[in-house]
Structures are given as C-alpha cells and as structure tokens.
C-alpha cells in the first residue's frame, strides 16, 4: 500500500484521487460559505488548524495546480456579484475561494498539519479498498437482472422516502402513534427482506457487496459534536423517549443526552463523533460507566459512536449493562430501525 507521504511528492498520484472529496468530511466537518460550494483562505486554515500564512504560502508554491482544481480569486464586479449572492459582508477588494476539490488538493500538499495527514491516510485507505474489490464482470441483461434492479429501486424508495415519512408522522402524531409505528415496522421488514434478497443474488453471482455506505453516515460524519448530539436526541424522541435533553458541553459530567424511555426508564447517552478509522476503547467505556451508573443512576445507558468499538470495549460494555451503538448499528438506527433496548 502507498505511504501517505507519496501524495506530497507526486502530482500524478494526487490527480488520481481528487474526486474523493467526501474524505474531507469523514475526517473533520468542513464548513462552507452560504453558497454551499466554497470556503475562504481563513476557513481552509481553520480546517487544517494552521495559520492563514501557511495556506497563502502553499498557494504561492502550487498556484497552477490549485487553480486547475477550483482555486479562484474574485475581484471587481465578479466579487460584488458573489457577495450579493452569498450574503458576505466584507470590504476587501479581492476574495480567494477554494472549492472542495481544491481543499482536498491542499490536504495532499500541506506538510505541517495533523488534519491534512489524517486526510491523506484515510484517502489512501479508501482508495486501496476500492482498488482491491473484485471486478464485477458484466452479465447479459435478462428478466432476473431487471427484477433485481426493480427490487433495488423499491428498497431505495422505502428507505429514503416512505420510512422518513412515517418518522415525521410519528413525531407529530399523538392519537395514531402506535398504529403508525406498527406500519413503519412493517415497511422496514419489507425493506430488509428486499435488501437480503439482493445480497443473496449478489453472492450467487460471486459479487461482493460490502462497499462502505456513504448516505446516512456521510451526513453524520459531516456534523460537528453539538449537531451529532442533537441528531441522537431526535432519534430518541422519534422512538418514543420523553423529556429528552441535550446535556453536552462543559460540565456535562460525561453524559451528553438524558431522558426517559417510552416505558419510563431513566436514560443517559454518551455521543462520540469520531473518524471511522478510530475506535472506542475500554477506558472510554470505564469513564462512562461511572457517570451513567453512579452519577445518573441510569437504567438504560447508550454509548453511541460513529466508529467501531474494540473487542475489550464491547466485552466491558456487555458486562456492565452499557449498550454499545457502533457505526453499523447507528446507520440502521438513523435509517429508521429502533434500538431493541428502547422497545
């Protein structure tokens, strides 16, 4: 596997992976201007935790490469139009803008930034996984493959439209809440069966379908800590929990969300929005045990993370009554599944 430092030296290698801009948000949330497409020099410096001077120096050294990938300096009428469109209040005579592609380019050139190094490592890890997946040999189109595509389309509609619609109705409905939850459960069961059927067909064809999901989890990877805690609070409320309060921040005593389950049990949650290549370790669980069991006397304790748990952490959580919600479970929960501990 290629070492991440190779990206610093090889323009050709950098160019081969510039489409993977999703990696930026998987390592750390990238804030964008109101146009949703660009960031300023100061925002790039903040993302990589370096001084603005370092970014400007990098631009001077690699301007042509960065311009080819979306770096642009606005002046005159072009700048005025952009300010009016984006709502930026500034009297500066020029404004340097970076596209997401240009920001990724910076990550592959910036030496003295730990965030940039993490982006390079994660980028090459993802590229390595993509290149080592078996090649899908084309097969003749027939009725079975058409049925398969129809099943996939139905699964997509159920997961992306029907289930979210039920979630919204359940949140606002009082009188028919139980009936709506039962209907949603039925839809989710159909969705799972279609997905399992599709996976079986892929296995029979000798094709692995284990590529990482990028929909629901990509959105969570892009959240900051506070937004992630609010997202978890909404999931709890959706699933019938009451008195849900976000406690995250200074002085939270190791618990980010508190509330009551639908049947009245005391609930506490620890939320960790970590990069997917990190892990929750046993010491993390130990700290949470003290807060959940001693300080809050919790009957239901969830440790929710956007990354995996180490085997020791999972074992300790199981022994002490902590429910470990790792990345895979979190994705299913966000897509509409209900955690068994909350039922």
Q: In which band, very low, low, confident or very high, does the pLDDT at 233 lie, cut at 50, 70 and 90?
A: very high
> Is residue 140's pLDDT more than 60?
no
- Average pLDDT, stretch 92-120? 91
Determine the pLDDT at residue 120.
86
> What secondary structure does DSSP assign to 147-190, as a single string?
HHHHHHHHHHHIIIIIHHHHHHHHHH-STTHHHHHHHHHHHHHH
Beta strand 94-99 pairing with 38-40: antiparallel
pLDDT in tens, 93-102: 888 999 999 9
- Average pLDDT, stretch 16-24? 86
Other C-beta atoms closer than 10 Å to the C-beta of 146 total 10
Other C-beta atoms closer than 10 Å to the C-beta of 61 total 10
Identify the three-state secondary structure at position 106. Answer: helix
Determine the pLDDT at residue 38.
85
Identify the three-state secondary structure at position 316. Answer: helix
pLDDT in tens, 238-284: 888 889 998 865 556 778 999 998 888 999 999 998 887 788 999 99
User: Is the model more confident about 153 or about 266?
Assistant: 266
Q: Where are the beta strands (DSSP E) in 117-265?
A: 242-246, 257-260
φ and ψ at residue 96, rounded to 5 degrees: -85, 130
pTM, full prediction: 0.42
> Is residue 103's pLDDT more than 90?
yes
Q: In which band, very low, low, confident or very high, does the pLDDT at 156 lie, cut at 50, 70 and 90?
A: low
Sheet holding 94-99, edge to edge: 38-40, 94-99, 72-75
Residue reference for tokens 């596997």: 1
Residues 6+ apart with CB under 8 A from 255: 247, 268, 269, 270, 288, 291, 292, 295, 296
> Is residue 157's pLDDT more than 70?
no
pLDDT in tens, 29-85: 888 887 678 889 999 999 999 999 999 999 999 999 999 999 999 988 888 887 776
Buried b (16+ CB within 10 A) or exposed e, 172-200: eeeeeeeebbeebeebbeebeebbeebee
Report which secondary-structure segment, H or E, holds 268: strand 266-272
Instruction: Quote the crossing angle between the two packed helices 100-107 and 41-48, to the nearest 10°.
Output: 40
> Is residue 285's pLDDT more than 70?
yes
Determine the pLDDT at residue 217.
74
Of the listed ranges 30-39, 161-170, 198-207, 320-329, the least confidently predicted one is 198-207
Of the listed ranges 18-27, 58-67, 92-101, 119-128, the least confidently predicted one is 119-128
From the centroid of its chain, how far is CA 63?
Answer: 31
């Amino acid at each position: 596997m290629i070492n991440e430092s190779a990206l610093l030296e090889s323009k050709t290698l950098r160019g081969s992976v510039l489409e993977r801009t999703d990696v930026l948000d998987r390592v750390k949330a990238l804030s964008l201007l109101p146009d949703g497409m660009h960031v300023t020099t100061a925002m790039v410096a903040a993302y990589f935790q370096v001084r603005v001077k370092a970014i400007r120096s990098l631009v001077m050294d690699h301007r042509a490469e960065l311009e080819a990938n979306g770096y642009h300096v606005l002046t005159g009428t072009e700048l005025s139009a952009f300010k009016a469109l984006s709502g930026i209040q500034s009297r500066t005579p020029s404004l340097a803008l970076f596209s997401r592609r240009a920001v990724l380019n910076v990550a592959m050139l910036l030496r003295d930034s730990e965030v940039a190094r993490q982006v390079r490592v994660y980028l090459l890890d993802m590229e390595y996984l993509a290149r080592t997946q078996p090649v899908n040999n084309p097969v003749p189109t027939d009725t079975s493959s058409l049925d398969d595509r129809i099943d996939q389309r139905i699964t997509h509609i159920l997961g992306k439209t029907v289930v979210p619609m039920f979630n919204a109705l359940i949140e606002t409905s009082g009188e028919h809440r139980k009936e709506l939850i039962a209907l949603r459960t039925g839809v989710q069961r159909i969705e799972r069966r279609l997905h399992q059927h599709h996976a079986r067909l892929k296995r029979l064809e000798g094709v692995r379908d284990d590529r990482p999901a990028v929909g629901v989890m990509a959105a969570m990877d892009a959240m900051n800590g506070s937004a992630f805690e609010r997202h978890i609070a909404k999931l709890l409320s959706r699933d019938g929990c009451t008195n849900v309060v976000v406690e995250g921040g200074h002085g939270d005593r190791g618990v980010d969300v508190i509330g009551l389950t639908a049947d009245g049990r005391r609930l506490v949650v620890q939320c960790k929005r970590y990069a997917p290549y990190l892990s929750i370790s046993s010491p993390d669980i130990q700290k949470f045990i003290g807060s959940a069991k001693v300080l809050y006397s919790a009957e239901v304790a969830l440790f929710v993370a956007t990354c995996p748990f180490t085997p020791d952490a999972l074992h300790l959580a199981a022994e002490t009554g902590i429910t470990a919600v790792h990345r895979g479970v979190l994705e299913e929960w966000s897509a509409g599944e209900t955690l068994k501990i909350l039922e």
